[in-house]
């Protein structure tokens, strides 16, 4: 299950539930609202995201910033 942690967090399934403004939050509001049925695909992904260790959440949350920072640095180097 730990291998799915990065993908779940990128979709917005965080350790405290769906992350506001994420794809997961949009899916929840579009398909179910506040009442997510037990056993649905969304509840399974939500449970998997919530059982992810917080150390993964901290690390994975930094990945987009590292990627953007790398692109910004590369852009600066190329432009001179």
pLDDT of 45 reads 86
For the stretch 7-37, pLDDT in tens is 888 888 888 888 899 999 998 999 888 888 8
Kindly indicate the confidence band of residue 5, based on its pLDDT and cuts at 50, 70 and 90: confident
Q: What is the pTM of this model?
A: 0.57
Kindly indicate the confidence band of residue 57, based on its pLDDT and cuts at 50, 70 and 90: low
CA nearest neighbour of 10 among 24, 28, 27, 31: 24
């Amino acid at each position: 299950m730990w291998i799915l942690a990065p993908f779940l967090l990128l979709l917005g399934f965080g350790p405290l539930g769906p992350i506001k403004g994420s794809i997961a939050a949009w899916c929840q509001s579009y398909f179910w609202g506040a009442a997510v049925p037990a056993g649905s695909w969304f509840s399974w992904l939500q449970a998997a995201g919530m059982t992810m260790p917080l150390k993964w959440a901290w690390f994975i949350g930094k990945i987009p910033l590292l990627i953007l920072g790398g692109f910004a640095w590369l852009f600066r180097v190329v432009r001179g």
